[in-house]
Amino acid sequence: MTDLTSLTIAEARAGLASKSFTASELTDAHLAAIEAARVLNAYVLETPDRAREMARAADEKIAKGEGGPLAGIPLGIKDLFATRDIRTTACSKILGNFIPPYESTVTTQLWRDGAVLLGKLNNDEFAMGSSNETSCFGPVTNPWRRDGSNTTLVPGGSSGGSASAVAAQLCMGATATDTGGSIRQPAAFTATVGIKPTYGRCSRWGIVAFASSLDQAGPIARSVRDAAILMRSMAGHDPKDTTSVDIAVPDYEASIGKSVKGMKIGIPKEYRLDGMPAEIEKLWSEGADWLKAAGAELVEVSLPHTKYALPAYYIVAPAEASSNLARYDGVRYGLREGAKNIIEMYEDTRAEGFGAEVRRRVLIGTYVLSAGYYDAYYLRAQKVRTLIKKDFEDCFAKGVNAILTPATPSAAFGIGEKGADPVEMYLNDIFTVTVNMAGLPGIAVPAGKDSQGLPLGLQLIGRAFDEETLFSLGDVIEQAAGRFTPAKWW
């Protein structure tokens, strides 16, 4: 029998339906793979008992013909999603051993559809980072290595555990979140598919908040079809999240294989950066050629405010973070330090519980929201945000169906290689933050490898609530580029 962990979700679904194997066997194969891959540090909590119990329940349902769309599919969950009775930490010391008495809406919907929980996945602390190096559980290792090298590389972040686990076949798919690129950048670094849906498409209820006007949940998977399958279960209106939108969830999988003939694809000239590696440039034009060969029309477009997106993001996101993180005060969750008086308790808990990057964001956020600087920074950044959104609207008004860009300005880098200067790390998000600022959907699809054998991805940006077009176009790229699996060394 083929290794069950190498199957896609679509293949596993077919195998379960034809009784080639059981959900319990599928889960056991993944639990064994997780155990053999602890060196990657992708999981911060393994839940084998829960997984076996859920797999057994799925088998019973499948036998009765009552299995849901994800019946028996083993998934990993980013540790930002609250899981009832299961430790949820956002990979921050400050949450300590927090065990939520509630379940996030997105995960509730996955379990409703029959999926199996394998465990909780590592991420940057409070999802702040682009390399998964800020986690209190330590960095995640990318299963990909440069040809002939054993340097350990980052999987990207903040959903580094999700991307690494999916790429290394330690789960069939994973949940992730994206505030400025945290689904798409790690997907590009690990040759996985990641989609950040339109803001409001998935409920944020029960997901630890970073920057509430930017945060969105989405899946990371090993094929475009699998991402579409997961999206259908994750998306939907939720009265508990007033920013979630009441629009029917389409059958995203039906978009796979749909013709893209006649679609207009924008190539934004502002994304052609000075000093961009020639390999990225080449990948981008190859992607354009594939879409053209499939019948799409390529047009140059302009998104003139792109250059302000990153600085504006690094005002808006920390501002919202400083407000969201005010709740971690030693009173309600996890860690509590300093017992003399309440002020000392707040100070000591927060100083001890937050890592350096989180402290930096809280300080920046507090500064840009302070009375004297609010207009100069926060208000101005909000105005820039409106202009960025308008750039995209103007482009779509001209009949453009989607925009093609590189997903990241480089391939995966080494652990410890970047980050001495925080701005160097922030530059990773240059192609992805605009999409969050505008609230639009964006998908990252593996498209090739660099000269050192590392995967590179392309990004497609769509109109609001038109994820379907992204799945159709993403599938064209996947068909042309193929799928990529790292050579196993662990």
User: Catalytic site residues?
Assistant: 158, 182
Comparing CB distances to ligand GLN, the nearer of 199 and 210 is 210
Shortest CB 403 distance to ligand GLN, Å: 19
Q: What's at 113, amino acid-wise?
A: D
Nearer to ligand GLN, 59 or 178 (CB): 178
Nearer to ligand GLN, 388 or 476 (CB): 388
| Shortest distance in whole angstroms from residue 177 CB to ligand GLN | 6
Which residues face 130 on adjacent strands? Answer: none
Nearest CA among 159, 169, 61 for reference residue 115 = 61
Q: HSE on the CB side for 172, CA within 13 Å?
A: 28
Smallest gap from Cβ 438 to ligand GLN, in A, equals 14
Cβ-Cβ contacts under 8 Å for 170 (sequence gap 6 or more): 5, 30, 33, 34, 37, 40, 42, 43, 76, 118, 164
Nearer CB in complex with ligand GLN: 109/177: 177
**Closest Cα to residue 459, out of 411, 410, 407, 409?**
407
Phi, psi of 117 (to 5 degrees): -90, 120
Minimum Å distance from CB 483 to ligand GLN?
24
Cβ atoms 210, 317 nearer than 8 A? yes
Q: From residue 88, how far is each of 97, 102, 231, 268, 372 by CA, in Å?
A: 7, 11, 22, 40, 37
Alpha helices in 334-452 (DSSP H): 342-353, 356-369, 380-397, 422-426, 433-438
Based on C-alpha coordinates, what's the Rg of the chain? 21
Nearer CB in complex with ligand GLN: 158/401:
158
Residues at the interface with ligand GLN (CB under 6 A): 127-130, 158, 178-182, 210, 317, 429
In the complex, minimum distance from the CB of residue 405 to ligand GLN, in angstroms, rounded to a whole number:
16
Residue with tokens 């949450």: 95
Cross-strand partners of 174: 76, 220
